[in-house]
Chains A and B, each alone.
Chain A
Amino acid sequence: MLLLIIAFVSVFVSTGNKVEVKDAWVRTGAAGLNSALYFKINNNSENPDTLYKVTSNIAQHIQMHETYKKNDMMGMREVKSIIIQPNSSVEFKPGSYHVMLMDLNKDLKEKDEINFILYFKSEGDVNIKAIVRSN
């Protein structure tokens, strides 16, 4: 009986925020042009999780991308999903992984706050606010 209670409690306690999304920011951008969203994901659980989609009403199209270097040239390509290993972090940062915001619906000016939803396979939907910065 005691084991059952422990199992029951552990299941419900463990459904808390195992995935944290921190330090979210968006680069300034003009309506009709593109920008990028950056953040840090901490997976505090004992299992891997996968980020597979990001949505917002700020842009017509949103995709996850990575910047790559090839013979001293820089390019970018789409990334369909990103796995965050147990007790690990993945950082979306300039020159690396970023969420590409294409055809912005309005100007993004410094200190604006923009809402996004990040979709994880295990954690589910995570709502975040990102601050617009100029760098």
Chain B
Amino acid sequence: MNHSYSGNSSKYFIFFIIVFIFIFFESCSNNLPVKKSLRTSFELINQDSSKISFPDDFKGDITVMSFMYTNCPDVCPMTTNNLRMLQEQLKKDDIKGVQFVELSFDPDRDTPPILKKYADVRSIDEKNFQLLTGNKKVIDSLLKVMNIYAIPSDTINYDNGGFTYSFIHTDRITLIDKESRIRKEYKGSIVDEKEIIKDIESLD
């Protein structure tokens, strides 16, 4: 009787060990939970005035996405530069299948030619880096899906009586997997490049 009890204990022990090992390796192989699936596609335009369906046109690749406006002098260019540096590092590491996207939340001013100028002066390699703009309502809907806030504020008055405006906005980089699912979000202006590369590799 004792012998039978001991045998059952061993079986339970082995079963729990197997379950533990399975859970352990499963969590290590993909430790980024799905935050949201992007089910709707949004019709936008890139810096070359080409039509882009987001996220449909990016399916099959990992996408690193950020949000900006070109009249921003400080925070947004920091984010753009972080994406550019990340793009350079992935090239050096020979990591392929990653697209970079920056969405403007200021489509009234950020037309395709303006986005093109913004990219050109920064020597952005546009092979896998697109800047997107489009219809304001469409962009607002997409921002809502991406949980990004961008509110016109802080009017800047010029000495000659003119004025411009800036935005108060979310500072964000979003990592999207090959199946158009948001997997992780980071601060945009200050990033840990190694962390993002590690996360990209974990999705590959």
Contacts and interface: CB of A to CB of B under 8 A. Distances in A.
Interface of A: 27-36, 60-61, 63, 65, 67, 70, 72-78, 94-95, 98, 100-102, 107-110, 134-135
Nearest to A63: B156
B99 interface: no
A74 B169 contact: yes
B72 A34 contact: yes
Nearest to B189: A95
Nearest to B121: A30
A60 B159 CA distance: 10
A75 B167 contact: yes
Given A36-B73, A74-B169, A101-B73, A61 B118 contact: no
Contact of B166 (A32, A75, A108): A75
Given A72-B170, A102-B164, A28 B78 contact: no
B120 to A, nearest CB: 7
A134 B85 CA distance: 10
Interface residues of B, number: 33
A94 B189 contact: yes
A116 B121 CA distance: 21
B149 interface: yes
A72 B151 CA distance: 13
Contacts of B158: 60-61, 102
B122 interface: yes
B32 interface: no
A134 B166 contact: no
